[in-house]
Amino acid sequence: MINSKRLDIHDRLKIEGGLLNRKPIKQIAERLGKSPSTISREIRAHMCIVTKGAKYSRSFNDCIHRFECIKEKRNKKNESHTWGDCIKHCNKYEKELCPKREKPPYVCNGCTKRVTCQLEKRYYYADKAQNQYQEVLKESRIGISIDEEELQYLNELICPLLKKGQSFHHIYETHKNEIPLSERALYNYIKRELFNVTNLELPRLVRYKKRVNSNRYKFKVDKKCFINRDYENYYQFIKENSNPLVVELDSVEGKKGYSVLLTVHFVDCSLMLAFKRERNTARSVIDIFNELQDELGIFDFKKLFPVILTDRGKEFTNPTEIELSPDGQIRTNIFYCDPMCSWQKGECEVNHELIRRIVPKGKTFDAFSQPQINLMMNHINSYTRKKLGNRTPYEVFKEIYGLEIIKKLGINFIQADEVTLKPSLLK
């Protein structure tokens, strides 16, 4: 009889050992007393994606045309070729997938060619699988599970009543049939600042000292929004649409619970915009994109934002309202990186280092206005980059999109000798 207990670290070590020794999934399952489908799901759920080059000092390059391209490059004199350039710059780049990954055991642990293979590889590691399992188990036991539509409904129902001076208890008792939650849950939502109310509208909350464990309530993401928008779908979309321009989104926090920045990074020219938000919510991100459309017009908006790539933060979990304009017109396409894979939008992360030079980590953005944030980004965008041929992001952006769009976005050029990347810029 098959044991129905959950897999533990010892079971996962046996799975990793079996894969390394090229044992079939059925044989691994028999050894553990589990069904083959259990082992198969375990492997596919916790496999790690690795993008490393083969030996002999070659960088990662999974372009299907890489060998023909290299042969062609070698025939040209005085022209060098760097492995991996195809992924970022070549318009003919086409991702090659290993056919062995689509059938059991789905990973490269026991593959004899993994040392010399240049394609994207997938591995199953017992320790990482155990850590991921424990995180999922922990997440399922804590937090607030609600999607953006439900939150918006509660916000519109409760906030006007709170601003009239009514208590949570009074609101809950008089609208019990309209609120699909407990009274305790509503208080937890207030602790996580999910409603558009201030402490002044909750006088008792102002008088009482904040409890130590009040931050243990987390906002759980509605994972349905990631369906058909993961990193594999992103690669497929890029391939089918002839490598459209990509924009990467992220949030930069100063201190927890204070103002945050939404950063918009144009990968092709390394130019970055930043917008101050009072709260790190999905609504604040949607409002910024609606304002950008108002400033640019729908035609220029589609030109600037054909594809958006971002992480899985809660502020990006309402993709439909980002993709659609207020009148229901499709204006962009949004995709998400894999969990714990911020390197998939690495250029955006690298550019944040320049922001940290001016506003060090741990310092709040509350003291800065949006014009000051714009000033900071103007200095960053006027900073020369070696990868752009020693040109600035401003200059490259101007060549691609034109001066008219630059004026609409309010971007200004700073002379080279006046560029300042120190905290003194905003003092």
Whole-angstrom distance, CA of residue 373 vs CA of residue 378: 9
Give me the residue spans of the domains in the chain. 9-139, 144-220, 223-426
For 405-419, how does the pLDDT look when each residue is reduced to its tens digit (9 = 90+)? 999 999 999 998 999
**pLDDT reported for residue 54:** 59
Per-chain mean pLDDT for the chain: 81
* 89 alpha-carbon distance from chain centroid: 22
For 193-209, how does the pLDDT look when each residue is reduced to its tens digit (9 = 90+)? 677 766 556 655 544 45
**pLDDT reported for residue 70:** 59
Whole-angstrom distance, CA of residue 39 vs CA of residue 22: 14
| SS3 state of residue 95 | strand
**pLDDT reported for residue 76:** 43
Q: Average of pLDDT values for 263-269?
A: 92
For 207-262, how does the pLDDT look when each residue is reduced to its tens digit (9 = 90+)? 445 554 444 444 555 567 788 888 888 988 888 887 788 999 999 988 777 889 99
For residue 224, the one-letter residue type is: K
Whole-angstrom distance, CA of residue 180 vs CA of residue 11: 41
The two counts, helices (H) then strands (E), for the chain are 18, 9
Percentage, residues of the chain above pLDDT 90: 32
Q: What are phi and psi of 236, to 5 degrees?
A: -65, -40
Q: What are phi and psi of 411, to 5 degrees?
A: -90, 135
Residue with tokens 């609409």: 408
- Highest-confidence segment of 178-192, 209-223, 310-324, 370-384: 370-384
Helical segments of 163-281, H only = 168-174, 183-191, 203-207, 231-240
What is the CATH code of the structural domain delimited by 223-426?
3.30.420.10
For 61-77, how does the pLDDT look when each residue is reduced to its tens digit (9 = 90+)? 778 887 777 544 544 44
For 5-35, how does the pLDDT look when each residue is reduced to its tens digit (9 = 90+)? 688 899 999 999 999 999 999 999 999 999 9
